[in-house]
Structure 1
């Protein structure tokens, strides 16, 4: 399983509860699209997750930004992920970033709004914020291998209590 988070905005810790905490602990890979805000939040995530890949966001302290890149690319579950907090140009900028990195999925944050957009060449995925939804529904994403075993991942954006917000599929090119 791959678990995806963003926009924690905490000075205390990871702020994970319920199904979100279980997903972070059980996932083979955890991705975070930035805005931990504090080193305490970053380290709390690192302590919960075996394989943790993160970028920094615009609200992160200098101590967090010094530890994390602005963007990164990784492969998991047969899918290539390009991760950033935000890109100028909104959807177009995110899609261009995905194309430049030959990504199947662009993971991003910043808006705190759980979002899945089919950008033709790649899927744009914002898991939302599990801790600071700012008027949106709180969210995080999980992706698991499809039961048909065809190199596809089945994804869901869920609220921390497990309530399903949206389902989607990703076909990897890796």
Structure 2
């Protein structure tokens, strides 16, 4: 399982609870699309996850920015994920970012709005914010292997399904 988070915005910890915390602990790979805000939040995530791949966001402290890249590519669960906090150009800019990295999925954050948008190039996945939804539903995402590729779900921290998607093998 791949668990995906973004926009923690915490000065002291990971702010994970319920099924979101369980997913972070049990996932083979955890991806975070930035805005931990503090080193304490980053380190709390690292303490809960076996394998964490993260990028920094616009609200991250200088110390977090020094430790994390702006963008990265993660190969996990048979798919390639291109991870960034935000990109100019909206969905088109994110799709171009994914295409340039031969990605199946682009993971982004910044908006705090959980969404899954299928484009011709790739799936655009924003898990939302599990801790500071800012007027949107709180969220995180999971990707799990299926017979046809990966099944994706955006869930609330209590595990309630918000949206689902499928990433088929190419």
Instruction: Report the Cα distance in structure 1 between the residues aligned to 2:116 and 2:12, rounded to whole angstroms.
Output: 29
Q: Deviations over 1:70-104 (max 9, x none)?
A: 00001111100000000011111101000000000
Q: Which residue of 1 aligns with 2:168?
A: 171
- CA displacement at 1:27 relative to structure 2: 0.2
CA RMSD of aligned residues (A): 0.7
Task: Determine if the alignment matches structure 1 residue 23 to structure 2 residue 47.
Answer: no
With structure 1 as the length reference, what TM-score do the two structures score? 0.96
Q: Which runs of 5+ in 1 are unaligned?
A: none
Task: Give every structure 1 segment of 4 or more consecutive aligned residues whose post-TM-superposition deviation is greater than 6 Å.
Answer: none
Q: 1:172 to 1:83 in 2, by over 3 A?
A: farther
Take 1:120 and 1:40, find their aligned partners in 2: how far apart are those partners?
38
| Counterpart for residue 7 of structure 2 | 7
Distance 1:16 1:58 in 2: 21
Aligned positions of 1:84-163 closer than 5 A:
84-146=84-146, 149-150=147-148, 152-163=149-160
Question: Residues 2 and 144 of structure 1 are in contact (CA less than 8 Å); yes or no, is this contact kept in structure 2?
Answer: yes
Which residue of 1 is the match for residue 50 of structure 2? 50
Q: For 2:142, what is the secondary structure of its paired residue?
A: strand
Deviations for 1:16-49, whole angstroms, at most 9, x for unmatched residues? Answer: 0000000000000000000000000000000000
8 A Cα contact 1:36 1:60, kept in partner: yes
- Alpha-carbon distance in 2 for matches of 1:95, 1:50: 29
Query: Is structure 2 residue 68 aligned with structure 1 residue 71?
Result: no
User: In the alignment, is the contact (CA less than 8 A) between 1:7 and 1:131 conserved in 2?
Assistant: yes
> Are the equivalent residues in 2 in contact too, given 1:80–1:172 (CA < 8 A)?
no
TM-score by length of 2: 0.98
Output the CA distance in 2 between the equivalents of 1:9 and 1:65: 14
Query: What is the aligned length?
Result: 170
Separation in structure 1 between the aligned mates of residue 82 and residue 167 of structure 2, nearest angstrom? 14
